[in-house]
Amino acid sequence: MTAGALEQLLTERARGPLGPQIELDFGLEAGPFVELGQMLSRINGFYLFSGGVQVFRAGEQGLGPELIDWNTDTTWKDTYGSLVDDLFLFGQDLFGVQFGIYDNEDIVTFDPETGQMKALGPSLDDWAAWLLEDPDVNGAASFAKAYQEANGPLEPDQRLIPLKFFIGGGSYDYDNLVVRDAATAMRIRGPIAQQVHDLPDGATLRISFE
pLDDT of residue 207: 53
Say if residue 206's pLDDT is above 80. Answer: no
Asked if the structure places residue 187 within a domain, the reply is yes
- Output the average pLDDT for the chain: 93
For residue 2, with 0-12 CB atoms within 10 Å meaning exposed, 13-18 middle and 19 or more buried, which class applies? middle
pLDDT of residue 7: 96
Number of H helices, E strands in the chain: 7, 8
* Torsion sign (Cα): 4, 156, 151, 181: positive
Say if residue 64's pLDDT is above 50. Answer: yes
Asked if the structure places residue 140 within a domain, the reply is no
CA atoms within 13 A on the CB side of 3: 0
pLDDT of residue 197: 82
Instruction: Give 141-179 pLDDT, tens digit per residue.
Output: 999 999 999 999 999 999 999 999 999 899 999 999 999
pLDDT of residue 168: 87
Asked if the structure places residue 207 within a domain, the reply is no
pLDDT of residue 205: 58
Asked if the structure places residue 210 within a domain, the reply is no
- Using pLDDT thresholds of 50, 70 and 90, give the confidence band for residue 2: very low
pLDDT of residue 1: 41
Q: Which domain holds residue 87?
A: 5-135+148-196
Instruction: Give 92-134 pLDDT, tens digit per residue.
Output: 999 999 999 999 999 999 999 999 999 999 999 999 999 999 9
Asked if the structure places residue 110 within a domain, the reply is yes
Asked if the structure places residue 206 within a domain, the reply is no
pTM: 0.92
Say if residue 202's pLDDT is above 50. Answer: yes
Q: Regarding predicted confidence, which is higher, 205 or 157? A: 157
Alpha-carbon distance 65 to 55, whole Å?
9
Alpha-carbon distances, residue 54 vs 72, 141, 162 (angstroms): 18, 11, 19
pLDDT of residue 148: 96
List Cβ neighbours of 68 (8 Å cut-off, separation of 6 or more). 58
Asked if the structure places residue 204 within a domain, the reply is no
- Three-state SS for 156? coil
Overall number of domains in the chain: 1
pLDDT of residue 55: 98
Asked if the structure places residue 162 within a domain, the reply is yes
pLDDT of residue 198: 75
